Amino acid sequence: MRQGTNLPRVGGYNQAVVLDAIRTAGPVSRVELAPLTGLTSQTVSNVVRRLLDAGLVSESGYAPSSGGKRRTLLSPRPDGAYAVGVQLDPDAAVVVVVDLAGEVLASRRVALPDGAQPADIVPRVAGAAQRLTAKAQVDPARLLGTGIAAPGPIDGPAGEVVSPPNFTGWGRVPLRAMFETATGMPVAMDNDATAAAIGERWIGGRARAGSFLFLYLGTGVGAGVVLNNTVLHGDSGNAGEFGHIAVDAEGLPCDCGGTNCVGPYVSPAGVIGDLLRRHGAEAAGRIGVSGAADAVHRDWKALRQAARGGDTAAHDVVRRAGRRFGQAARGAVALLDVSRIVLGGESVRGIEPILCEEIDAAVNATCVARSIRRIDVEKSVIGDAVGAVGAASLILHGNYAPGWRMLTQA
Ligand SMILES: [Zn+2]
């Protein structure tokens, strides 16, 4: 748990520390909050009063009596704040409206035409978001903004995506500024894997406190890194480019120009290619995989279903992908010293058990790892929509998670 400070002029920061503690440990009493936050009971009392006044927490009952005065319990108020989240993929944008508790109030998948350009996409998605917040009957005064989970690479400080693979004709696109203009609201943007990790941290409560590596599989693969409750961005906002970790590979070319990156072996298109190479057209036909360039979404769904249903060819290629995932993950956890790996993203649906098993075997295989600590490998607590919910969490987390920015900005 992050420690607060009793110095003056850090009210906003302490408010965030206390709200974070209530969200993570709640329902919780004022007496318990003091040791959890490192604040004096007088400061806790003052901060809680401000959070109650702001409508961000509520008094939600009493702790069981242990003699003496009963302690009032505090819980976060779901209707205290809202945010819109947008997960942008080449074929669709998933838009969600999320409350302060992380509950999805409404969601919509906006199909995007092949080769669509930013100038078409942004107004279309912003319009869908506006209709969705109206449908969810969100109090506009409590709507904090829109978060965008964008495919990497990004220029984080500038709020731009930079020639993302799979988006034909996109160069350097000032996506954050474009959405700010289209929505008239504050906009936060991060790469999809980092947004997913922030969502997992924000919503996962105690289960996602501390440090973890989030492995994200969408159209491509990426990772989000949370160390001691702090999200790692790196200097340019591209920390966690897991897809370009080198593995013992067979020479498949990667978008980056490399020939031993893990990405081409574990991405949906890569695994579909592996099925065709290893098991041929007959297996692909049986499973319902066409191999066509524009059918990756459909093919991948069929392949996952077949793998889950026990088809040996489908199971084989998914397991191979899991092994490569594991090989790259082993290097990452050796560097980061995290005791948890979380797997998520819409492309892992149904095959999490196979992938988690292989990753688990790889990262817990060596005696060094075993003698210090076991690494838990788990699927996302959010599920399919982790990218979009993560995007909304960028806004909630940015406003309410205790961070240095609160102390350094006026
Ligand atoms: Zn690469």
Tens place of pLDDT for every residue, the chain, 410 residues? 555 554 444 568 888 899 989 988 879 999 999 999 999 999 999 999 999 999 999 998 888 877 777 889 999 999 999 999 999 988 889 999 999 988 999 999 999 988 889 999 999 999 999 999 999 999 999 999 999 999 888 998 899 999 988 888 999 999 999 999 999 999 999 999 999 999 999 888 888 888 999 999 998 899 999 998 888 988 888 899 999 999 987 889 998 899 999 999 999 999 999 999 999 999 999 999 999 988 999 999 999 999 999 999 999 999 999 999 999 999 999 899 999 999 999 899 999 999 999 999 999 987 666 677 789 999 999 988 999 999 999 999 888 877 655 544 43
**Distance from Cα 205 to the centre of ligand 1, integer Å:** 33
29 φ, ψ (degrees, to nearest 5): -90, 165
Q: What's the pLDDT at 11?
A: 67
Q: What's the pLDDT at 7?
A: 44
**Distance from Cα 13 to the centre of ligand 1, integer Å:** 39
Q: What's the pLDDT at 9?
A: 44
**Distance from Cα 213 to the centre of ligand 1, integer Å:** 19
Q: What's the pLDDT at 313?
A: 98
Contact call for residues 109 and 161 (beta carbons, < 8 A): no
Contact call for residues 212 and 342 (beta carbons, < 8 A): yes
**Distance from Cα 360 to the centre of ligand 1, integer Å:** 24
Contact call for residues 359 and 319 (beta carbons, < 8 A): no
**Distance from Cα 243 to the centre of ligand 1, integer Å:** 6
User: What is the torsional sign of CA 44, 48, 51, 53?
Assistant: negative
**Could you count the other beta carbons within 10 Å of the beta carbon of residue 253?**
11
**Distance from Cα 147 to the centre of ligand 1, integer Å:** 27
Length of the chain: 410
Query: What pTM value is reported for the model?
Result: 0.89
Give the strand pairing for 172-173 and 160-162: antiparallel
**Distance from Cα 176 to the centre of ligand 1, integer Å:** 26
**Distance from Cα 187 to the centre of ligand 1, integer Å:** 29
Q: What's the pLDDT at 273?
A: 96
Query: Strand locations in 114-165, DSSP E?
Result: 143-150, 154-155, 160-162
**Distance from Cα 281 to the centre of ligand 1, integer Å:** 28
What is the distance, to the nearest Å, from the Cα of residue 400 to the centroid of all Cα atoms in its chain?
17
Q: What's the pLDDT at 102?
A: 86
